[in-house]
Every structure is written in C-alpha cells, then in structure tokens.
Structure 1
Amino acid sequence: MRLIVTHSTHYTYQSSVDYSVQRLLLTPLSFKGQKVESWRVTAPGIEGAMQYRDAFGNQVHLITAIKPKGSYSIVAEGVVDVQDMTGLVQGLSNMVPDYVYLRQVPNTKPSDAMLDMQAQFKTKPGDTLAFLHELMAAVHGAVAYETGTTDSLTTGAEAFAQGRGVCQDHAHIFIGLARASGIPTRYVTGYLIAEGTASASHAWAEAMVPNLGWVGFDAANDTCPTDHYIRVACGLDAAGTAPVRGSRRGGNIEQMTVEVRVEMAQQ
C-alpha cells in the first residue's frame, strides 16, 4: 500500500523567540516491508541541521533556529510504500543490545493491579508469541480508547487504573508488563490509516520474540501492524520518542497545534 503523509507542527508566541534548539524524530526509514519513496522535513534552521542516527537506530535532525518568526511550522511530508509483514520488523539497525529494552522507566513501570491481571493469563512468558498476543488482548480490553482522558505526563499505571486512555497509554502498559516478564520491548511511533480514511500519528510496541526477531503489537487496536502502518522511530517510552522535542530562549505563552494527515495514494 502506498501512503501519503503530511505532519505539521505549528508554533505561535506572544513575544519573539531569541533562539530554539529542537530534536526531530520525523523521518521514517526503509526496511523490509517499508520503502520510503520520498520524504522531506521543512523547518526554521533545517538547512544547517545536524543529521545522525541515534543508538536506537532513529534518523535524527537537530536544528537550531535564530530569532524565528513569531509563528512558524515544522512540516514532515512524503510517500511510503508498505507491505503487510504480519508484524515482523526486519532489516533495521540497532546499536543497543536487546537487554536495554528490559529497562523500566516511570511511564512503563507496572502497578500491582497490572501484575495481578497478568497473573491470570493462560499462557506463560516462555511461550513468548502466544503470551504477547494474550497480553495485547488483555490490555486492549482493560483500557478503553478515549481521547482527552490522559495527557503526555500520564503513566501507564495511571491509565490502567482509570481504565481509559489512548495509544500511548496502551503501549506503555503493554511494554511494562512485557518487560516485567523478561521480554525486551520497545516503544514505537509512526502513522496509521484506518479503513482507507485519514488518520493520525500513532504509537505501539515491538517485542523481541525468539526465532522471529522484533514483532509489532498494537494494543490500542488489538492487532499486529499491517500495511496500514508507517514506522518512524523507537525508544524506551513516549518521552524519548517525541516527534519534536527541544528548548528555547524567549517567546512566552507558547501555543502549539499539530495536524497529521495520512491518506492512501491513488493507484
């Protein structure tokens, strides 16, 4: 499937910004099942941006903008061909050892209630693939998808306690319980198109399965990623894989709006 993406982040300030430094994780990579046909990022300072691959294998732009206008946008857009690999992720470089993805961070640390749910599973972590599918279904059933009920600071344990959240929360809960079971698991950001309609940015998890390698699990939708997904970046949690993250000097009362459009190309 060929998908077209436009991801715009727009900033406005009530006073001028002296300078800003931002790290962008907005560029997908080509690997088995995903081919980036074209992609570009436009932003103040992008011409002199430092580009590199981080330890997680992500393509990074580090941009510095001197006295940007009172309002400006960061736009990532392009065309990506995706095949349904039934969740398998192959052909990506990763410089950190798998055991790094066993590390619990505040967003993923499981609560006693989460561990109690897992204790009721029919499968055990030793049967890794079956266990992960049962975990995905359990998280999907325990946390209803409801926007506006959590924010970027909500932990997986907090979302689990209230039984409501969004894809970020489903991923954090899944990751926390998989790591607690000794399975290396990473947080993934990207895009999703649902039933051929415009959709938005999305988050899910990838776990290391013996004899298979990395496999994606989207607990928000209770499915493994298909050709409706574009993978962009990975890390330990949402905080570490934010598409745009940085700091600035000056510019009070920031207002940020994000617009993401994903559509199927005409064949």
Structure 2
Amino acid sequence: MLLTIEHETRYNFDQSVIHGLQRLRLRPKPTHGQQVVEWETVLEGARHEAAYDDQHHNHVELVSLEPGVREVVITCRGTVKTADNHGILGEHSGHFPLWAFTRATPLTRAGPKVRSLAASVAGQKEERLAMLHSLSLAVRAAVEYEPGTTDVTTTAEQSLAAGHGVCQDHAHIFISAARLLDVPARYVGGYLKMDGRVEQDAGHGWVEAYVMGLGWVGFDVSNSISPDERYVRVTTGCDYSEAAPFTGVVTGAGPGRLSVHLSVDAPQVSQQQQQSAP
C-alpha cells in the first residue's frame, strides 16, 4: 500500500523564546516491509542543527528554535510504501543488544497488578506466540481505551490499576508483562491509516516482541490485531521515552499551546473505491 502522510505540529508561546532545542524523531524507518519513497521536514521558526541515527536506528534531527519567535511550526510530509507481513519484522539487527529489551524501565517497571496479569498467561510459555496473543487480549480487556485519562509519565502499573488509558498505556503494560515472561519487547511509535478516514486524531503506538524462529513480531494491543499494510513504523525504543517524536527544552517562552494536524491517506485505494462505487 502506498500511504501519504502529512504531520503538522504547531507551538504557540505566550512570550518570546529565549532558547530552545528540540530532538525530532519523525522520519519513518526503511525496514522489512516498509520503504520510504520520499520524506521532508519543513521548519518555521526553527532551524536544523544536526542529524544522526540513534541506538534504535531512529533517525533523529536536532533543531534549535529561533530566538524571539512566539510560534514554531514543524511539518513532515512524504510517501511510504508498505506491505502486509502479518506483523513479522524478522531477526534482530543493529548494535543495541537483544537482552536489553528484557530490562525494566521507569515506565515499564512491574508492580503487583502487572505481575498478576503476566501470571495469568504464563501457563502458555511453551507456545510463545499464542501466549503473546493471549497477553495482548488480556491487556485490552483490563484497560478501557479512554483518551485524556493518562499522560506520557503514566507507568504501566498505574494505568493497569486505573483500568483506563490509551495505546501508549496498552503498549507499556504488554511490554512490562512480556519482560516478566522473559520475552524481549519494545515500544513502536508511528502512524495508522484508519479505515474510512484521512484525518487522524494522533500518532499511534504498539509493541513488538521477539519470538524465536520468527524474530520481532508486532502486536497492536489497542486494536487487538497484528500490524498490517496500514501501519507505518517511525520509532522504536525500550519504552515511549526513547521513541517519542518530540523531546527537548524551551526557555523564556512561558506557557504555550500545542496543536497537531495529522493526515494519513492511501490515494490509490481511495480512487479504486470511488471507481467501484455504484
């Protein structure tokens, strides 16, 4: 599937910026089942300083905010060709060791709730893939999807105890429980083309777990499926903090407002649907 993406992030500050530095992880990964045809990042009120690939092969752009600005706009747009590999990414690669994905992080450290959830599927350890699918369903059943009830600092244990959250929380709970079951697991951030719509509310988050014989396998806990050709992988990390699209510091700007506009379209599919309509 050929997907076109436009992602605009707009910051409006109450006062003029004195200094600001942002780390952007916005360019999709060229990886198994995914090819970046074209991609660009356009900045207003900021300028590029450097670019590099981090330990997770995320493409990172460092940008500085122009002193004195009160509005910054970061627009990413491009085209990505995807394929449906039933969520299978293949063998591990890169310099970051596989064992590092079994360690707890502040956002994924297990408490009694996560430990109980992991224990509920531990009897299926001999069939690891089936166990992970059961874990995904168990997480989704335990945590209602409810935007606005958690934030980027909410831990897996906190959202499971509360019983509500969003895709990020589903992913962290899965990762936390999988690591208790000795399964390497990582967070994935990206885009999802929702059926029947172009405008999207936000980016999406899911997980990948390592299964012997298959390699990395994706699980979209929030939608209870494995990623298909509608998904675009942008970042990966041990948790959301390492895969966040924006991190950085701004001084002198005072309180600010953030607005995001995101569209993900499949023009060829839309055209075929129109041609086949009665």
Q: TM-score range by the shorter chain?
A: over 0.9
Residues 1:92 and 1:177: Cα distance change in structure 2 (over 3 Å): closer
Alignment partners' CA distance in 1, 2:120 and 2:65:
52
Q: Is the 8 A contact 1:196 1:264 kept in 2?
A: no
TM-score norm. by structure 1 comes to 0.94
Residues 1:46 and 1:212: Cα distance change in structure 2 (over 3 Å): farther
* Aligned counterpart for 2:225 among listed residues 223, 226, 230: 223
- Residue of structure 2 in register with 1:249 after alignment: 251
Q: What is the SS of the residue equivalent to 1:99?
A: helix
- Residue of structure 1 in register with 2:103 after alignment: 103
Q: Name whichever of 11-20 and 121-130 sits farther off.
A: 121-130
Alignment partners' CA distance in 2, 1:178 and 1:67:
45
Q: How much has 1:93 moved relative to structure 2?
A: 4.5
Q: What is the SS of the residue equivalent to 2:124?
A: coil
Q: How much has 1:69 moved relative to structure 2?
A: 2.0
Residues matched between the structures, number: 267
Q: What is the SS of the residue equivalent to 2:135?
A: helix
Residues 1:252 and 1:47: Cα distance change in structure 2 (over 3 Å): closer
Q: How much has 1:165 moved relative to structure 2?
A: 0.8
1:196-235 correspondence runs (5 A):
196-198=196-198, 199=200, 200-235=202-237
For 2:234, the aligned partner's letter is: V
Q: What is the SS of the residue equivalent to 2:154?
A: coil
Alignment partners' CA distance in 2, 1:72 and 1:120:
47
Alignment partners' CA distance in 2, 1:62 and 1:171:
27
Uncovered stretches (5+) of structure 1, i.e. residues with no partner: none
- Residue of structure 1 in register with 2:50 after alignment: 50
- Residue of structure 2 in register with 1:175 after alignment: 175
Q: Is the 8 A contact 1:24 1:62 kept in 2?
A: yes
Uncovered stretches (5+) of structure 2, i.e. residues with no partner: 270-278
1:5-24 correspondence runs (5 A):
5-24=5-24
Structure 1, residues 67-113: CA drift from partner, whole Å, max 9, x if none? Answer: 15211111111111111010011488522000111111121112212
- Residue of structure 1 in register with 2:151 after alignment: 151
Q: What is the SS of the residue equivalent to 1:6?
A: strand
Residues 1:127 and 1:148: Cα distance change in structure 2 (over 3 Å): same
Alignment partners' CA distance in 2, 1:124 and 1:203:
26
Q: How much has 1:124 moved relative to structure 2?
A: 2.8
Q: How much has 1:123 moved relative to structure 2?
A: 4.0
Q: What is the SS of the residue equivalent to 1:118?
A: helix
Identity, % of aligned pairs?
37
Residues 1:186 and 1:12: Cα distance change in structure 2 (over 3 Å): same
For 2:251, the aligned partner's letter is: R
For 1:245, the aligned partner's letter is: T
Q: Is the 8 A contact 2:46 2:66 kept in 1?
A: no
Q: Is the 8 A contact 1:31 1:92 kept in 2?
A: no
Q: What is the SS of the residue equivalent to 2:131?
A: helix
TM-score norm. by structure 2 comes to 0.91
Residues 1:92 and 1:82: Cα distance change in structure 2 (over 3 Å): farther
For 2:263, the aligned partner's letter is: R
Structure 1, residues 148-178: CA drift from partner, whole Å, max 9, x if none? Answer: 1211221111111111110000000000000
Q: Is the 8 A contact 2:18 2:67 kept in 1?
A: yes
Residues 1:122 and 1:235: Cα distance change in structure 2 (over 3 Å): closer
Residues 1:92 and 1:176: Cα distance change in structure 2 (over 3 Å): closer
- Residue of structure 2 in register with 1:131 after alignment: 131
Residues 1:68 and 1:221: Cα distance change in structure 2 (over 3 Å): farther
For 2:248, the aligned partner's letter is: G
- What's the Cα RMSD here? 1.8
Q: Is the 8 A contact 2:90 2:216 kept in 1?
A: yes
